[in-house]
Chain A
Amino acid sequence: MAAAFAVGIYMALITSPADFKQGESVRIMYIHVPSAWMALLTYTIIAVASGVSIIWRHPLADLAAKSAAPVGLAFTGLALITGSLWGKPMWGDWWVWDARLTSVLVLFFLYLGYIAIWQAIEDQNQASRAAAILALVGFVNVPIIKFSVEWWSTLHQPASVIRLDGPTIDGSMLVPLLVMVLAFKAYFITVLLWRMKAELVARKLQVLRLKKAQGA
């Protein structure tokens, strides 16, 4: 993970070229786009895990969804902040209420709501059910975010990489972007596993404490 980040940052800040329109400001894209993609991917993972949790009642699915949420929240926040820092010089404003930006802001609040449900409901089974339903309902927002730039006129530009007719981004910029995406994915998996392990240990601790209280 650290190696991928090191290579990615080196390429993004030093070896990659300036863009013909955006100039040097294109370098923000190398962290903005991975953040935004990971925000969507993480939410999709949470939604799938929530479906598994509702249907098969698999405790590990719950754990994965719960553990992924703070990481997804961080990615979404970073996508919004880095986008804003690019938007000011390029668009001329920090923020606009177009369909893309607004739907990503909604995603941010979905993450917040999801985390809040886990915090607010004490009974873990009830919390898991409520959180999973929110995650599934909120999933409609994911295709809206992805296609917002095609369905409506937005200030945000259309997709450059994932499109039917192939990327419209030059290879010299696509490669550093993909390296950064890889680094972000590795980061996500690493932190997700730490947090899932912590959740497992937390449950074990609860059982131990209960046993002890009963034994005393």
Chain B
Amino acid sequence: MSKGSLNPMRRRKRQRIIVVLTAMGLLGIAVGLILVALQENIVFFIAPSEIAERQIESGQRFRLGGLVEAGSLEQQPNDPTIHFRITDLEASVPVQYRGLLPDLFREGEGVVAEGRLTAEGIFEADSILAKHDENYMPKEVIESLKKSGRWQPQEERPKDEDS
């Protein structure tokens, strides 16, 4: 009759709810702490401005990620090596690479390069991955916007796109 005398079935159910919820909560906290501790290892790439902060030395292998700096892409005739800069809008690093490029690789677009820094501070990449962003737009819409001069690329992306 009193509130203390829930029938045993209901009490057990209540206990089980509490056990499940606390267990889930503790597990969540534990996993959260592990992930925070592992933060540095979970990131897929390092931005140019983080290189100094992370004390990366020349010769050390890592992934450098950011935007392909607009207007920085260069290739000498008869030389398969391409040169460009990766920027995170705070710092930028010169990169050289020789090999196939993914289809999304463009000036002003996201890129992740894997390789090492030389003593001169040039990043020698041996693989290049392109990073897609979250924007989906029909080709025709962009083309007609460009034609009418109303196309405004996001961020600081300058106008000249490659063909």
Are A136 and B130 neighbours in the complex by a CB distance under 8 Å? no
Scoring B residues 18 to 57 as 1 if CB is less than 8 Å from chain A, else 0, what string do you get? 0010011001100100010001001111110000000000
Residues in chain A near residue B103, CB distance under 8 A: 22-23, 25, 89-90, 92
Residues in chain B near residue A5, CB distance under 8 A: none
Instruction: Report Cα–Cα, A160/B102, bound state, in Å.
Output: 22
B3 within 8 A of A: no
Instruction: Report Cα–Cα, A174/B31, bound state, in Å.
Output: 34
A104 within 8 A of B: no
A212 within 8 A of B: no
B interface size (C-beta, 8 A): 44
From B72-80, B116-124, B131-139, the one touching the partner chain is B131-139
Residues in chain B near residue A19, CB distance under 8 A: 136-139
Are B136 and A23 neighbours in the complex by a CB distance under 8 Å? no
From A49-57, A114-122, A181-189, the one touching the partner chain is A49-57
Residues B107-163 near A (CB distance < 8 A): 109, 112, 127-143
Are B129 and A155 neighbours in the complex by a CB distance under 8 Å? yes
Residues A10-27 near B (CB distance < 8 A): 17-23, 25-26
A-B contacts, 27 of them at CB < 8 A, read A17-B139, A18-B138, A19-B136, A19-B137, A19-B138, A20-B142, A22-B104, A22-B132, A23-B103, A23-B139, A29-B136, A89-B103, A92-B100, A92-B101, A98-B44, A99-B42, A99-B44, A136-B24, A140-B27, A151-B35, A152-B44, A157-B133, A159-B134, A168-B136, A169-B135, A170-B141, A173-B136
Q: Which residues of A contact B (CB under 8 A)?
A: 17-23, 25-26, 29, 51, 54-56, 89-93, 96-99, 136-137, 139-140, 144, 151-155, 157-160, 163, 168-170, 172-174
Known: A21-B132, A55-B13, A151-B35. 10 other contacts (CB 8 A): A55-B20, A90-B130, A92-B129, A96-B44, A99-B44, A139-B24, A153-B44, A153-B65, A155-B131, A169-B136
Which 10 residue pairs of A and B lie closest in terms of their CB atoms, listed nearest first?
A: A92-B102, A17-B138, A169-B136, A98-B44, A20-B142, A160-B134, A153-B43, A55-B16, A157-B132, A152-B42
